[in-house]
Amino acid sequence: MAQPGLTLAEASPDVLRLPAPRVRRRILLTARVLIVVAALITLLAVHYLTAVTLSLFLIVGQGCIVIGALLAAGVAITDVFRRRGVTSLRFEPGETVFRQGDPGDLVYSIVSGEVEIIREMPDGEERLLATMGPGEYFGEMALISDAARTATVRARTSLEVVAMGRADFTTLYAYVPGLKQRVETIMRQRAADTARKTS
Amino acid sequence: MSGITDEIAQRMLEQPFPRSGDFAELGAVVTTALAIAVLVLVIGGALLGERRLSPTAASALGVLGLCVLPVFMMLFGAYTTVEGSKSVEFCHSCHSAMNLYVSDMEDPASASLAAVHYKQRWITQHECYRCHADYGVWGSADAKLRGFAHLYHWLIASKTALGEEQIHTYRRYRNQICLDCHAGGADFLTSGRGVHLMIARNLVERDPDTGAEVTSCMTCHAPAHPSLESWRSRG
């Protein structure tokens, strides 16, 4: 945890700062659109070859492929960093960190800001299970039990978290003395809390 | 017996045998398969979302659908289209501008050099390209740029693009291309009482001003194509 009065960047300058998930989604969407356009142009040029479709393919199609593939490769590389090692992520107020039912890949510790833990009931109603603030962590449950996320987590304020991938977390969880007991105690408390609030 | 009648056999000889199975056709099949795979992976991936897949599987599919396959699609697509652009039909795709050249070449009654080469099947495929290999994507960098400049002609519907004005070449036709086929040919060396050997130096030595050989083959073997005017008067 960062010491009081120190920003994360000052306390641990080596933590890799990745683009916000929102930015990542936009880049991925751009790459997808470019590649789909390129595939359509390629089909057109191969099956209806004229001077116009050839030029379209050579200039626009190939341009889309090069840019789209580079963007997608960038996303894939940052995804590898996100899953391996400790990274820092920022969210805007109201932005979702993960959704109930998502596969669990990271465990998060809050550096600054607050989150809401929300249970989505089968009828679509949302129930607030808890709010958490700096120093608290969430997301460990899906990693330990290797299941989908059991709740949705949303940023209440502008949020900075430190995230750790499954591999690192399970190693620490197995080998750091006392960690397993502490996490299990907290998990039991939260499970009891949740049962109370959703019944 | 195969059951081929004289009539069928004669008709078979009267037209070029169909070609099949060349690499360009294979390229088209591979490119199509790649493009469809890319569309399925990318659109399917976006619809299914990353929620149903484990993050590692989603990442791997993303890299496959957005990087690996598209790059192969680009390579095979470039090969197929650039190979396809050698065809006479491709030249004819700029119909208004090229119709004169294509229809004259394919006209058995025409005596132009292109038509003679075509009707005797001295050039067996990609006829325009074979005599104009220094044009378009096939030529030097500036020829490629000009190819794109001609696209601009098409866009603004210039008079040459519409076939209303005679097309002129940027520089003199290079003997090099004729000699690719004819140099070393027995008839070429002896016919016209050996005229080609007599003027050999002028046929191969380049004039630094024009970039072409001092004496063009066209000096004596013109016309390669009819002029716009004569073609029009032919009706």
CB-based contact B81 A73, cutoff 8 Å:
no
User: What pLDDT sits at residue B138?
Assistant: 61
Average pLDDT value for chain A:
89
Of the candidates B172, B201, B230, which is a domain's last residue? Answer: B172
* pLDDT tens digits, B143-181: 777 777 888 888 888 888 888 889 988 788 889 889 989
> Percent of chain B at pLDDT above 90?
51
Domain count across chain A = 2
A61 and A122 inside one domain? no
* CATH number (domain holding residue A191): 2.60.120.10
* B-interface mutation test, from A27, A28, A35, most B Cβ less than 10 A away: A35
* pLDDT tens digits, A45-63: 999 999 899 999 999 999 9
- On whether any CB of chain A is under 8 Å from the CB of B148, the answer is yes
Q: Residues, chain B, total?
A: 235
- On whether any CB of chain A is under 8 Å from the CB of B62, the answer is yes
Q: For residue A106, what are the CA distances in angstroms to A84, A86, A197, B115, B185?
A: 9, 10, 25, 72, 75
Classify residue A12: in a domain, yes or no.
no
Closest CB to A46 among B50, B63, B77: B77
Distance from CA of A67 to the nearest CA of B (A): 10
Distance from CA of B142 to the nearest CA of A (A): 15
**Res. B57: pLDDT tops 90:** no
A170 and A96 inside one domain? yes
Using an 8 Å CB-CB cutoff, list chain B residues near A101: 51
What is the strand order of the sheet A96-98 is part of?
A: A96-98, A152-155, A115-120, A126-132
Please count the residue pairs, one from chain A and one from chain B, whose beta carbons lie less than 8 angstroms apart: 124
Which chain B residue has the Cα nearest residue A66? B71
A42 and A104 inside one domain? no
Domain count across chain B = 2
CB-based contact B42 A57, cutoff 8 Å:
no
A164 and A184 inside one domain? yes
**Res. B192: pLDDT tops 70:** yes
B162 and B101 inside one domain? yes
Here the ipTM equals 0.86
What is the strand order of the sheet A159-165 is part of?
A: A16-17, A86-91, A159-165, A106-112, A137-138
Classify residue A10: in a domain, yes or no.
no
Classify residue B230: in a domain, yes or no.
no
Residue B50 pLDDT grade (very low, low, confident, very high; cuts 50, 70, 90) = low
* pLDDT tens digits, B210-228: 888 999 999 999 899 999 9
Q: pTM of the prediction?
A: 0.86
Residue A129's domain comprises 85-198
User: What pLDDT sits at residue A104?
Assistant: 84
Classify residue B119: in a domain, yes or no.
yes
CB-based contact A35 B32, cutoff 8 Å:
no
Classify residue B100: in a domain, yes or no.
yes
Classify residue B112: in a domain, yes or no.
yes
Classify residue B154: in a domain, yes or no.
yes
CB-based contact B66 A103, cutoff 8 Å:
no
User: What pLDDT sits at residue B48?
Assistant: 78
Q: Over range B99-106, report the average pLDDT.
A: 95
Residue B152's domain comprises 88-172
Average pLDDT value for chain B:
88
Classify residue A9: in a domain, yes or no.
no
A124 and A29 inside one domain? no
- On whether any CB of chain B is under 8 Å from the CB of A44, the answer is no
A104 and A188 inside one domain? yes
A65 and A104 inside one domain? no
Of the candidates B172, B191, B221, which is a domain's last residue? Answer: B172
A63 and A103 inside one domain? no
More confident residue, B139 or A157: A157
Low-confidence ranges of chain A (pLDDT < 70): 1-7, 9
B137 and B93 inside one domain? yes
Distance from CA of A113 to the nearest CA of B (A): 26
Contact residues for B97 (Cβ-Cβ < 8 A; gap 6+):
B153, B154, B160, B161, B162, B163, B167
CB-based contact A62 B74, cutoff 8 Å:
yes
Using an 8 Å CB-CB cutoff, list chain B residues near A43: 32, 35-36
A93 and A179 inside one domain? yes
User: What pLDDT sits at residue A1?
Assistant: 46
B79 and B100 inside one domain? no
Distance from CA of A102 to the nearest CA of B (A): 5
- On whether any CB of chain A is under 8 Å from the CB of B84, the answer is yes
Classify residue A8: in a domain, yes or no.
no
Cβ under 8 Å to B: A residues 140-159: none
More confident residue, B85 or B142: B85
B92 and B168 inside one domain? yes
- On whether any CB of chain A is under 8 Å from the CB of B218, the answer is no
Q: Over range B34-45, report the average pLDDT.
A: 95
Classify residue A16: in a domain, yes or no.
no
Distance from CA of A54 to the nearest CA of B (A): 7
Classify residue B74: in a domain, yes or no.
yes
Of the candidates B138, B172, B206, which is a domain's last residue? Answer: B172
Classify residue B233: in a domain, yes or no.
no
Residue B115 pLDDT grade (very low, low, confident, very high; cuts 50, 70, 90) = very high
